[in-house]
Structure 1
């Protein structure tokens, strides 16, 4: 139920937009191309099952986990629908 000046279904539109942004961000980070034999960060060999499971993989499991940990701080917060962005 929308209130104020918002149209009916505005909440669902905001949820859909936030979800689409997250999907696009995830797709843009997928590896592409040929997998490397060794990690480009630490130089350790990348196991063959990992290379087959994730085409274009560039990092070993440990280095990828470290990258994922630093990227988890990215918020899925939709600024377009926030009250702060409407007040500016």
Structure 2
């Protein structure tokens, strides 16, 4: 049931777009291929245990933690159809 000026199914389409974006973002962060023996950022040796536990690992623990902190800043809020985004 559409409300206001939205056409039928518009809300569900926005929800689907948000989920699709989140899945694409999560998949882009997955490693693939062989693990590196040394970190791609700082050249520190990556322990064998980490290479076995995380297939395709590219970063040492310290660099991975820094990257995860930066990625957590992303809010994940889909503003494409938000009225708030039109007010700013």
TM-score interval (norm. to shorter)? 0.7 to 0.9
Q: Matched residue of 1:65: which SS?
A: helix
Q: Distance in 1 between matches of 2:2 and 2:53?
A: 44
Q: Is the deviation greater in 62-71 or in 1-10? A: 1-10
Q: Distance in 2 between matches of 1:32 and 1:49?
A: 17
Structure 2: stretches of 5+ with no match in the other structure: none
RMSD: 2.2
User: What is the TM-score when the length of structure 2 is the normalising length?
Assistant: 0.76
Question: Paired residues, what number?
Answer: 87
Structure 1 residues 12-33: Cα deviation after superposition (integer angstroms, max 9, x where no partner): 3322211110110111122222
Structure 1: stretches of 5+ with no match in the other structure: none
User: What is the TM-score when the length of structure 1 is the normalising length?
Assistant: 0.76
